[in-house]
């Protein structure tokens, strides 16, 4: 009888482990593997529902301007031998040698950050818009959620300094791009990096995926994310636990501007507070009323640009 019970229990354990491995690979494919289409949240897709006519006009002008600009395609080899691509807009009136790197979100491309380019160009900046590894024209079979991308951004910073004599560099990102620039902040960066702007960043990858697991599938994080994390380590070379923007901002004194909508369904707004509380130095937290995920710029374009201008005046020489 005991032997029969032991066999039954052993069989159940094996079946459970196989099911967890299958589920972990499924969630890896949905959330980390390159190119999978998955709807992350159910926020309204309507454009500028809250924007005034003047803000809508500013946004249209910015998008049209970007589309019309001549751009150079830059190719860089990453630390792990991937070919990474970026679009570069040279500003011939850039007498202060200022540059900005604009970091896009999950399963977007550098083009999606084009609406910010006109603002920086008008301020006299060169503009670099990379496609993150695993996105767009850049190589890579997986998404690093900012963790491996932080090392790519160190190389993009070096590129701007060495090839374009950049003396003052700003990093700005949305969503995953916001987490990317915050994770970059914890690395040893050159003195040319003067400020970082992060719109709608998550605090850690594991917490964000736990939020999505519950929101989309109604499932708890344990044990699925722990199994997925092991699979991510095997297939992508990092664990979900180590990919932490919170840990990285604790290491930096570069000024941060953290922006988040109070109606963000994709990345909980309290993550912005967690990041702000963890960060050292002279930082700002701007919670934008009625703004969904990365919607603040679209909703209040003029006010958003004013906030950016004030931050630049504070951090640039």
| pLDDT for res 43 | 46
Digit-coded pLDDT (tens) for 161-202: 999 999 999 999 999 999 999 999 999 999 999 999 999 999
Q: Identify the domain boundary among 219, 238, 257.
A: 238
Say yes or no: 137 and 285 in one domain.
yes
Residue segments in the chain with a per-residue pLDDT below the cut of 70: 1-20, 36-49
Say yes or no: 267 and 151 in one domain.
yes
| pLDDT for res 3 | 63
Specify the number of domains making up the chain.
Answer: 2
| pLDDT for res 234 | 96
Residue 258 sits in a domain whose CATH number is: 3.40.50.1820
Q: Give the dihedral of Cα atoms 284, 290, 291, 293; nearest 10 deg.
A: 110
Q: 191 burial class (0-12, 13-18, 19+ CB within 10 angstroms)?
A: exposed
Is 147 inside any structural domain? yes
Say yes or no: 141 and 290 in one domain.
yes
| pLDDT for res 185 | 98
Give 132's contacts (C-beta < 8 A, 6+ positions apart).
103, 104, 138, 140, 143, 144, 149, 152, 176, 177, 180
Say yes or no: 7 and 97 in one domain.
no
Is 102 inside any structural domain? yes
| pLDDT for res 222 | 87
Is 36 inside any structural domain? no
Is 155 inside any structural domain? yes
Is 46 inside any structural domain? no
Structure tokens at 164: 């374009």
Is 44 inside any structural domain? no
Full residue range of the structural domain in which residue 124 is found: 52-204+243-315
In a 13 Å sphere around the CA of 206, the CA atoms on its Cβ side amount to 20
Structure tokens at 139: 């190589």
Say yes or no: 95 and 17 in one domain.
no
| pLDDT for res 46 | 42
Say yes or no: 89 and 139 in one domain.
yes
Q: Give the separation between CA 162 and CA 185, rounded to whole angstroms.
A: 20
Say yes or no: 4 and 75 in one domain.
no
| pLDDT for res 165 | 96
């Amino acid at each position: 009888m005991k032997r029969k019970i032991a066999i039954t229990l052993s069989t159940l354990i094996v079946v459970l482990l196989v099911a967890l491995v299958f589920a972990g690979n499924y969630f890896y494919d949905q959330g980390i593997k390159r190119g999978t289409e998955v709807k992350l949240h159910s926020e309204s897709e309507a454009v500028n529902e809250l924007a005034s006519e003047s803000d809508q006009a500013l946004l249209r002008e910015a998008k049209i301007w970007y589309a019309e600009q001549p751009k150079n395609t830059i190719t860089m080899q990453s630390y792990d031998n991937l070919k990474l691509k970026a679009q570069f807009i040279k500003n011939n009136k850039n007498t202060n040698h200022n540059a900005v790197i604009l970091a896009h979100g999950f399963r977007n491309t550098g083009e999606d950050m084009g609406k910010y380019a006109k603002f920086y160009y008008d301020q006299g900046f060169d503009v670099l818009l990379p496609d993150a590894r695993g996105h767009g024209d850049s190589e890579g079979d997986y998404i690093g959620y900012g963790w491996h991308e932080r090392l790519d951004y160190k190389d993009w910073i070096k590129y701007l300094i060495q090839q374009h004599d950049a003396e003052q560099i700003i990093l700005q990102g949305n969503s995953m791009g916001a987490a990317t620039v915050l994770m970059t902040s914890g690395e040893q960066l050159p003195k040319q990096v003067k400020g970082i702007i992060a719109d709608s960043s998550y605090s850690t990858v594991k917490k964000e995926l736990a939020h999505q697991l519950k929101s989309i599938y109604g499932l708890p994080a344990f044990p699925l994310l722990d199994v997925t994390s092991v699979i991510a380590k095997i297939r992508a070379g990092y664990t979900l636990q180590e990919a932490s923007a919170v840990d990285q901002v604790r290491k930096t004194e570069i000024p941060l501007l953290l922006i988040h909508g109070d109606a963000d369904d994709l990345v909980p707004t309290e993550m912005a507070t967690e990041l702000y509380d963890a960060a050292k130095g002279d930082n700002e937290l701007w919670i934008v009323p009625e703004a969904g995920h990365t919607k603040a710029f679209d909703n209040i374009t003029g006010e958003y640009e004013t906030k950016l201008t004030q931050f630049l005046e504070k951090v640039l020489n």
